[in-house]
Amino acid sequence: MNDAREPGLFDKHSGAFTYVLVCLGGLACLLLGLFQRGAGSWGLLPIVMALVAIVLRWRSGPVLTLLSAVWVLLARGQGLDPFAYLLGLVNEGIYTILFAPFGVTRGQAGYWVNRFPPKDYYSFQALSDPFLCGGMLIYLAGAYRLQAMVVSILPIDPRRREPAAADPNKKVKPALRPVLKQRRSANLVTPREITQLLITAAACTGAALVLWLWLSRHGDHLTQTERFWQLAASSWRAIMLVWLFGIGIIVVAGVLSYFGQGNVPREEAEMFLQDVTWRETIREQRTLMSWLAWARLRRRKREEEP
């Protein structure tokens, strides 16, 4: 068993370097979107986080970057900087747990008092939101593909260990060898897959924008027209979204499963039929077979006896 070696991130001839460039491109778009959303210098927080994660090869890097970007936007939406927002939340938590049960009133001084949330901060902005979404998507895809090359692309199986050393004097028992990390070979990266990624990212961002606009319009419409279920527009959007994705996934999975079953090999089909028969007649088969086994053993015992 062999596996691809860990590639250098900044080796210009390596596919890993290509994805580092993709990540940087995505981060640049993200930064642009954050600046346009008024994140200011705090907009650099997710970027720095992402760069550190790339260099140190953190497996949680993409998740941390996404969360930090969300955090910055949430804080800016409250009119605070992310650090002050964090302290405010801590302050609120302490008050709720320790003081509120005893009837202590909230003091006049606090982090929440001095905030000035910008008006319509969370409304749709045609200039910043596509950059934000597209940039984040490109970065995340690039970062995960990079991880596939430097960490592992297949799930780690503890039964698979590194191959034995060629030197017979350095032989270690298989169970004591390090677990094998199955990486993607860095030389497999092609320009075609980068192009496909960029096109897919643009298409997904565009589709999300269109879908969101459609949902917003229909949500508002349903709020105004529906008399029996008096729900807010956001609730209508959520319901429509769940139905849309739910039905879509069920239909696609059903179609794939149908075509998959049509091409099942003979052995698998036989096993499926056997399993169904067994489940339907489990009780009868069990009785029959246990008596047969018992009878066979008794017969043998009689034969062995003189």
Partner 1 sequence: MLTARGWWFLVLAAALLLLGVLRDLTPFALLGLTLFLWFLLEWLMFAARGHSARQHLRVVRLVVDERGPVDNLWAGRSFEVQIELWRDARPGLPYVKVTDLTPFGVEDVRGTTAADGRLDINRPLSVAYRFRCKAAGEVRFEGVRLDLADFQGFFYWRTFVTAPVVYRVLPVMLETGTPGARAKRHNVLPPPGVHRLRRPGSGSELLDLRDYMPGDPPKTIAWKVSARRDKLITKEFESEVPVRCTLFVDASNSVRLGPIGKNALSRIVEIAAVIAQTNSSNRDLTGLCLFDEAGSRIIKAGRGPRHRGEIMNRLAETATLTPATGSASADRLTPVAYAFAEEAYPQLLRSEINHVPWWMPFWWKVPTYPKRPFSILSYLVRFFLLVIALVPFTVFTFFLILGVEKLHHVFPKFIARPPSLLFTTVLTAAAIVYFLFVFVFMRVLPAVFAPRRRRLLKWRKSLSALLSVRYGLAPGGLALLLEDDEQYTLHVQRFLAEHQIPFPVPLYDSQGRYLFAAPGKIDVLTKALLQAVARGHDNELYVVLADLLELPDRLDPLVRAVRVALGRHHQVVFICPWPPDLPPPRTHERYLVAPWFHGRSQETTSKHVKKKRKPRKMERPQTDEDVYDMLEEMLEDRLHTAYERVQQALTRLGVTVICAASDRSVQVILDRMDRLRVAGIKR
DSSP 69-97: HHHHHHHHHTTS-HHHHHHHHHHHHHIII
Binding span for partner 1 by CB under 8 A among 82-90, 104-112, 220-228, 246-254: 246-254
- Counting contacts by CB under 8 A, is residue 211 touching partner 1? yes
> Which 266-295 residues touch partner 1, going by CB under 8 A?
267-268, 270-275, 277-279, 282, 285-286, 288-290, 292-294
Q: Compare residues 81 and 106 and give the one whose CB is closer to partner 1.
A: 81
- Counting contacts by CB under 8 A, is residue 243 touching partner 1? no
Q: Compare residues 70 and 90 and give the one whose CB is closer to partner 1.
A: 70
- Counting contacts by CB under 8 A, is residue 154 touching partner 1? yes
Taking CB under 8 A as the criterion, the residue among 148, 198, 222, 231 binding partner 1 is 148
- Counting contacts by CB under 8 A, is residue 195 touching partner 1? no
DSSP 127-185: THHHHHHHHHHHHHHHHHHHHHHHT-SSPP-TT-BPPPPSSGGG---GGGSPBPP-PPP
CB of 289 to partner 1, least distance (A): 4
Q: State the Cα–Cα distance between residues 23 and 305, nearest whole angstrom.
A: 80
Q: State the Cα–Cα distance between residues 216 and 213, nearest whole angstrom.
A: 5
Q: Are 201 and 132 in contact (CB under 8 A)?
A: no
Taking CB under 8 A as the criterion, the residue among 52, 113, 165, 207 binding partner 1 is 207
> Which 104-123 residues touch partner 1, going by CB under 8 A?
122-123
CB of 95 to partner 1, least distance (A): 22
Q: Compare residues 108 and 230 and give the one whose CB is closer to partner 1.
A: 230
SS3 101: helix
Q: Which long-range contacts (CB under 8 A, 24 or more apart) does 144-147 make?
A: 144/62, 145/19, 145/22, 145/197, 146/9, 146/16, 146/19, 146/20, 146/23, 146/54, 147/57, 147/59, 147/61, 147/62
SS3 305: coil
Distinct helix (H) and strand (E) counts, the chain: 9, 0
> Which 10-29 residues touch partner 1, going by CB under 8 A?
none
CB of 256 to partner 1, least distance (A): 5
Q: State the Cα–Cα distance between residues 197 and 19, nearest whole angstrom.
A: 11
Q: Could you tell me where the beta strands, DSSP code E, fall in the chain?
A: none
- Counting contacts by CB under 8 A, is residue 220 touching partner 1? no
Binding span for partner 1 by CB under 8 A among 49-57, 169-177, 222-230, 258-266: 258-266
- Counting contacts by CB under 8 A, is residue 91 touching partner 1? no
CB of 105 to partner 1, least distance (A): 28
CA nearest to 143, candidates 201, 187, 73 = 201
Taking CB under 8 A as the criterion, the residue among 32, 51, 89, 209 binding partner 1 is 209
Q: How many residues bind partner 1 (CB under 8 A)?
A: 88
- Counting contacts by CB under 8 A, is residue 64 touching partner 1? no
CB of 12 to partner 1, least distance (A): 21
